[in-house]
Amino acid sequence: MQIKVRDGGFFPPNHPHYHLQVWTEYAPEVMQTASFAGQEMIAIIDVAGGFQLEYLGHKADGFTSIEDAKTAAPEFAIAVLERMRTLIQDN
């Protein structure tokens, strides 16, 4: 099987945010976003005053600062994608 990116899609290799994991600071002390594998991840303050990461319908919480959450973000993205991979049945 050959995988190709469709024309006009969100994932073209030259899309400016596809490969970049650059955090956008809308409200830096409350919420920041970055793109991991072309999908948005959010680092955001939670109701208890800590911070959490949200990615593809998954979350990780318990971070004491937004910087700690951002440091953990690549590992979290990989864990989410690996978990999603296990949900695919290969018959």
Q: How far apart are the first and last CA of the chain?
A: 16
C-alpha–C-alpha distance, residues 23 and 33, integer Å:
5
d(Cα 1, Cα 54) in Å, to the nearest integer? 32
> For residue range 51-72, what is the model confidence (pLDDT) as tens digits?
999 999 999 999 999 999 999 9
Task: Tell me what pLDDT residue 18 has.
Answer: 55
Domain boundaries, the chain: 24-86
Name the phi and psi angles at 68, rounded to 5. -60, -40
Q: What is the pLDDT of residue 19?
A: 58
Please list, in sequence order, all residues whose beta carbon lies within 8 angstroms of the beta carbon of residue 80, skipping any fewer than 6 positions away.
55, 56, 58
Query: Could you tell me which residue, 54 or 16, shows the higher pLDDT?
Result: 54
Higher pLDDT residue, 45 or 17? 45
Give the model confidence (pLDDT) of 20-38 as tens digits. 688 988 888 899 999 898 8
